[in-house]
Amino acid sequence: MKWYIIFMLIGFKESMLLKRMVHTKCRGVLYPFSDVKRLQIKDEQVHWSVCVSDYDPPEYNSKALVNKPWADPPIEDKSFKPKWNELDGDINRKSHTGTYRIVNGRPLNPEGRTGIKGRGILGKWGPNHAADPIVTRWKMEGNKKVISNTTNLPILQFCAIQRHDCKQWAIPGGMVDAGEKVSETVQREFREEALNNLQVSKEQAEADEKMIRNFFKNGVVIYEGYVDDPRNTDNAWMETVAYNFHDEDGSHVGKLNLTAGDDAQNIQWMDIDQNIDLYASHSNFIKAVVERLKSHW
């Protein structure tokens, strides 16, 4: 075989591997907020295309979901007739990843096995849709951008919240409400989690409100798809649309004093580099923003 064909094949295999990176955060030993142990599987056993003949994970359906108006009924409920892979009334059961399979009446996680069946603590069977606002500004010293000594590139900051539930730092995202547009969710979640109780005068609040509404008109979609979220199961999983809202001169949302609210315990403008350790697959979304804005990583 000619040498260039060998190189092409190696390159092709590598790019396939990158695309098929397996989920890991939803394969931890214990399912979040429970004492249910996930069945431990190897990376090479994750995809459904690989036969694992004795795969029989435990089932977990949190009792906290019973009679919650935003949650689906139990899957065996005779009155529950979901329209999989479709817009089901106000509920979006379509996946950003394409058509997911239904096996024995249950939707199958498109990214493969997680070592647990049921829907855990997720409200919906199948995809659970969220939206993530990545609000960024440049790190400044006086009126100069701070440049990294290692990469010679400007350092970017994003609005990070510390989640109440697991204490991990994250993008201030949240679930898309039934019938809500994703573009509305990103703004609502940011307001609830990052702009709670701004202590300003009535006049200032009115001016800020106008500025915030305009600022959120200019989002760029950075990612649409599956989230490697610790709550995922074989039959229920998180998906998101992540938007970047960038404040180039720091005179818009970048100038506001952030205050944690709702699901957030702490909040900060966090410096971005390759060591950031965030909830679920949020670091991957941040990396996409870094590439977009050509900043330090």
Tell the smallest beta-carbon distance from residue 285 to ligand RP5 (Å): 8
Residues in the chain: 297
Question: 93 or 296: whose CB is closer to ligand RP5?
Answer: 93
Residues 6+ apart with CB under 8 A from 142: none
Q: Where are the beta strands (DSSP E) in 87-235?
A: 87-88, 91-92, 102-103, 106-107, 117-120, 126-138, 140-141, 144-145, 156-163, 169-170, 174-175, 220-227
- Count the alpha carbons within 13 Å of 167 in the hemisphere toward its beta carbon: 1
Tell the smallest beta-carbon distance from residue 107 to ligand RP5 (Å): 17
Tell the smallest beta-carbon distance from residue 195 to ligand RP5 (Å): 16
Tell the smallest beta-carbon distance from residue 214 to ligand RP5 (Å): 24
Question: 138 or 216: whose CB is closer to ligand RP5?
Answer: 216
Question: 240 or 295: whose CB is closer to ligand RP5?
Answer: 240
Tell the smallest beta-carbon distance from residue 64 to ligand RP5 (Å): 13
Question: 108 or 242: whose CB is closer to ligand RP5?
Answer: 242
- Check the CA dihedral 9-11-17-19 and report its sign: negative
Q: Are 252 and 211 in contact (CB under 8 A)?
A: yes
- Count the alpha carbons within 13 Å of 262 in the hemisphere toward its beta carbon: 15
Residues 6+ apart with CB under 8 A from 206: none
Question: 61 or 232: whose CB is closer to ligand RP5?
Answer: 232
Question: 228 or 247: whose CB is closer to ligand RP5?
Answer: 228
Residue nearest to ligand RP5 (CB): 173
Tell the smallest beta-carbon distance from residue 180 to ligand RP5 (Å): 13
- Residue 51, SS3 per DSSP: coil
Name residue 184's amino acid. Answer: E
Question: 171 or 182: whose CB is closer to ligand RP5?
Answer: 171
CA distance 289 to 138: 12
- Residue 280, SS3 per DSSP: coil
Q: How would you class 174 by CB atoms within 10 Å of its CB: exposed for 0-12, middle for 13-18, buried for 19 or more? A: buried
State the pairing for strand pair 126-138/236-247: parallel
Residues at the site binding ligand RP5, with contacts judged by CB under 6 A: 130, 132, 170-171, 173-175, 227, 229, 238, 240, 263, 280
Question: 33 or 55: whose CB is closer to ligand RP5?
Answer: 33
Tell the smallest beta-carbon distance from residue 144 to ligand RP5 (Å): 32
- Residue 119, SS3 per DSSP: strand
Tell the smallest beta-carbon distance from residue 240 to ligand RP5 (Å): 4
